[in-house]
Chain A
Amino acid sequence: MVHAEGVEKRFGHLHVLQGINLCVARGEVACLLGPSGSGKSTFLRCINHLEKISAGRLTVDGELVGYEQRRGKLYELSDRKICAKRAEIGMVFQRFNLFPHMTALDNVMIGPRTVLRRDRAVTEAKALALLDRVGLADKASSYPSQLSGGQQQRVAIARALCMDPKLLLFDEPTSALDPELVGEVLSVMQSLAEDGMTMVVVTHEIGFAREVANTAYFMDGGVIVESGDPKVVLTQPTHPRLRDFLSKVL
């Protein structure tokens, strides 16, 4: 589903991604771990073209993201085509980024209504079902400011799901939550994984990565330094940098 070959990203002189190679199959869950500044969030944002890559090949479902390959060069696509691609990829943010002027229900409905031009009644029924799925059926008419962090993040997950995405990206979804509220969000994510959703998750939750992920990638300094089965990689790390990281966070 996600295929990255030698993906690089530069911000001026800063070489944030220095050749990322990664492959996530359909139905798989990949966790990206690593210290802050290692480039994991930047890479995640490249997957739906919120950041433009500087070099390399990045495909989602077999298609290049944001570019078109012609005569050995990558040409950036028009806004319209990029938007159509993004509509297939859901994203959940660290700071939730719910739309504060809309109720939870409207937040979930706005994507399908404005981007996919779906019918109102059908979308509303679907949005209510999704809110029910994340355990917030009774909060449909609440505004984000009336919800706790964990509830907001679950609305954000429902919002992403309502677009029927092929792929879900999570950018540190529990980092802004009170420790008590982390569990409710992780359990929703776990149930999605069990239903076969393809997910790329940037996280600091080692436990979640070990339990749910098919593959764990440990990034440092803009490269993936170690990857593999999380049950192995995260319990018997071979790379000294990962060993050092785990000893600090566990």
Chain B
Amino acid sequence: MTTPSSEERSRDAAGSTESAASRAVHLEAVPLRHYGRWISAAVLAVLVAMFVHTLVSHIDRNGVHNDQRFQWSTVGRYLFDPSVIHGALVTIELTAAAMAIGVVFGIVLATMRLSTNRQLRYVSWVYLWFFRGTPVYVQLIFWSNLAWLYPTLSLGVPFGPSLFQISTNQYVTNLFLVAIVGLSLNEAAYMAEIVRAGILAVDGGQLEAAQALGMRRVQSLRRIVLPQAMRVIVPPTGNETISMLKTTSLVGAALGGGGELYRSIQNIYNLNYLVPPLLITGCCWYLAMTSVLSVGQFYIERYYGRGVGTSAPPTLLETLRKSFGRSPHVTASSLGKP
């Protein structure tokens, strides 16, 4: 209770007949004032201003006066350089192919691990143990050196004559192919665990209901269990896709080529030594691509969220408005009204 204002006191003194209850309806509730936040906001503003200043300020470098620190003109000049755009395209292709194969193979490995067949369970476990247990960088180099271990790959009778034979070297010189194999086989191991978690999260009664209808195991998995598991699978898969997009930057270093985005950037700064501006050019592309992926993830999650909750899921705009908008203030008067 606050002390009544002088006006109210004088009204009371004048013998106002207004009841206490009707005045209470207009009492405003004041939320707690956070004065500390004003101070921290000021500090933050100064820090941001200092950083922004460095973005546009000039420095002396190598005796050259008035050189812009970040060289934004260089960033801009190479942003749409044909080799950079080509690199970005290769990065997208690698990510898409490796994730597609990784997801499909991951689903297979997950169902193997949950199978009643012990052999399938063990095979899946050993696969995961190996591919999760070794660095993807090392795996990539390993695949490119496959010909050293197996100069030829052949199909035929075990320990007997071969019917069909290819030279391994023919394939491992295709760096794009080696990159996809290396990235996707590694990804499959991680996706397997994500898919397994999703399947385990679905209520056991769902499988029973599907079985009671007479559905085969594969049918119930595809029609009933997996669509529900997707709600759990999609968010970490989005993570994996974004992670994969960035992991492709290892391909250039591991295989000494492959033409993905970071390699293209590297090729340019190895010639002109303008390393930071070109790294920024690369980051712009990576950020743009991951941003698009995040939006895509939002809509996939929305699709698989159907049937959850009693109302239609919010659109992207509604969600953004909610997270950036003001939190609604509840006042005593708004509570009092019906």
Most chain A CB neighbours (cut-off 10 Å) among B210, B212, B214: B212
Contact pattern, A 96-138, Cβ under 8 Å of B = 1, otherwise 0:
0111111100000011001100000000000000000000000
Contact B310 A114 (CB under 8 A): no
Within the complex, the shortest CB–CB distance from A207 to chain B, in Å, comes to: 27
Query: A79 on the interface (CB 8 Å rule)?
Result: yes
Contact A50 B206 (CB under 8 A): no
Contact B209 A99 (CB under 8 A): yes
Query: A84 on the interface (CB 8 Å rule)?
Result: yes
Contact B208 A163 (CB under 8 A): no
Which residue of B has the minimal Cβ distance to A103?
A: B307
Interface hits, B201-225 → A, CB 8 Å: 203, 205-206, 208-217, 219, 223-224
Partner of A93, one of B208, B217, B306: B208
Partner of B208, one of A89, A97, A100: A97
Which residue of A has the minimal Cβ distance to B205?
A: A97
Which residue of A has the minimal Cβ distance to B203?
A: A97
Known: A97-B209, A99-B224, A114-B223. A83 touches B310 (CB 8 A): no
Contact B308 A111 (CB under 8 A): no
Contacts of A90 in B (CB 8 A): 212
Contacts of B223 in A (CB 8 A): 110, 114
Interface stretch, picked from A10-18, A21-29, A141-149, is A141-149
Interchain pairs with CB closer than 8 A, number: 77
Interface hits, B297-313 → A, CB 8 Å: 304, 306-310
Known: A50-B208, A50-B211, A114-B223. A100 touches B216 (CB 8 A): no
Query: A86 on the interface (CB 8 Å rule)?
Result: yes
Contact A48 B212 (CB under 8 A): yes
Partner of A80, one of B203, B208, B216: B216
A110 CA / B174 CA spacing, docked (Å)? 46
Within the complex, the shortest CB–CB distance from B73 to chain A, in Å, comes to: 52
A140 CA / B196 CA spacing, docked (Å)? 32
Query: B227 on the interface (CB 8 Å rule)?
Result: yes
Contact pattern, A 55-92, Cβ under 8 Å of B = 1, otherwise 0:
00000000000000000000000011001111111110
Known: A79-B217, A110-B223. A100 touches B228 (CB 8 A): yes
Query: A9 on the interface (CB 8 Å rule)?
Result: no
Contact pattern, B 1-22, Cβ under 8 Å of A = 1, otherwise 0:
0000000000000000000000
Contact B214 A101 (CB under 8 A): no
Contact B211 A99 (CB under 8 A): no
Contacts of A87 in B (CB 8 A): 213-214
A7 CA / B73 CA spacing, docked (Å)? 84
Given A83-B214, A99-B224; 18 other pairs, CB 8 A cutoff: A48-B212, A83-B215, A86-B212, A91-B212, A93-B208, A93-B209, A93-B212, A99-B228, A100-B228, A101-B227, A103-B307, A111-B213, A111-B215, A114-B223, A115-B213, A143-B307, A160-B212, A163-B214
Q: Which residues in A have some Cβ–Cβ distance to B below 8 Å?
A: 48, 50, 79-80, 83-91, 93, 95, 97-103, 110-111, 114-115, 143-146, 159-160, 163
25 cross-chain CB contacts under 8 A? A50-B212, A79-B216, A80-B216, A86-B211, A88-B214, A89-B212, A93-B205, A93-B208, A93-B209, A97-B203, A97-B208, A99-B210, A99-B228, A100-B228, A101-B304, A101-B306, A110-B213, A110-B224, A111-B213, A115-B213, A115-B214, A115-B219, A145-B310, A159-B213, A160-B212
Q: Which 8 A-B pairs have the closest CB atoms?
A: A87-B214, A97-B209, A91-B212, A111-B213, A143-B307, A97-B205, A86-B214, A115-B214
